[in-house]
Amino acid sequence: MDLDKAIQGRRSIREYSERKVSLDNIAEVLDAARFAPAAGNIQNFYFVIVEDKKKRKQIAEACNQIWMEKAPVHIALCNSPGRLKVLYKKFGDHYSVQNCAIASQNIMLKAFSLNLGTCFVGSFNKNKIESLLKIPPKVKVEGIITLGFVKKQEEIPRKLELRRITYFEEFGKNLK
């Protein structure tokens, strides 16, 4: 798929069809994460794939976002910062979150290229999700990515124009 088409065409999808996503497709999507840039080239993320209907309902409740229930796959993006903290001391935590964020975009773009929709969900009750998925103490959940075939396509929301977010040489300085 053309890169611009993927970058500009991907939308956060909140209505999914019931069509099952094959394990091969899920694996392909997650595999894209490994190739993301990563501080120290440390892949500090783990994925928990959730297809179980009851569990998806519990996750949706823990996110207070009922639409999630109908997404056929939930991917809990887990961050294990241990090695990064050893290597980068006080910066380790920060890098670990950055690594997860960059890997997430790879996941979402890859899904889009396979005609699958995604939505990154960052608002959730951490304790509830971590206990539901039996996340070990040194690992934290950074987000849930919903995945599935699209039932309702979203319109592109307003995006700031490049000139509004770009300065030259110093913050706040526009091109003359």
Q: Closest separation between CB of residue 157 and ligand FMN, Å?
A: 5
Q: Quick check: 11 binds ligand FMN (CB under 6 A)? A: yes
Please state, in angstroms and as integers, the Cα–Cα distance from residue 26 to each residue in 5, 118, 153, 158, 169, following that order: 21, 12, 20, 30, 43
Q: Quick check: 99 binds ligand FMN (CB under 6 A)? A: no
Q: Closest separation between CB of residue 143 and ligand FMN, Å?
A: 6
Q: Quick check: 61 binds ligand FMN (CB under 6 A)? A: no
Residue 170 identity (one-letter amino acid): E
Single out the residue of 123, 137, 169, 174 in contact with ligand FMN (rule: CB under 6 A).
123
Structure letter (DSSP) for residue 12: B
Q: Quick check: 120 binds ligand FMN (CB under 6 A)? A: yes
Which region, judged by CB under 6 A, interacts with ligand FMN, from 15-23, 30-38, 121-129, 168-176?
A: 121-129
Q: Are 60 and 67 in contact (CB under 8 A)?
A: yes
Q: Where are the alpha helices (DSSP H) in 39-150?
A: 53-63, 82-88, 92-113, 126-132
Q: Are 47 and 102 in contact (CB under 8 A)?
A: no
Q: Quick check: 128 binds ligand FMN (CB under 6 A)? A: no
Q: Closest separation between CB of residue 59 and ligand FMN, Å?
A: 12
Q: Quick check: 154 binds ligand FMN (CB under 6 A)? A: yes
Q: Which residues pair with 47 in a beta bridge?
A: 77
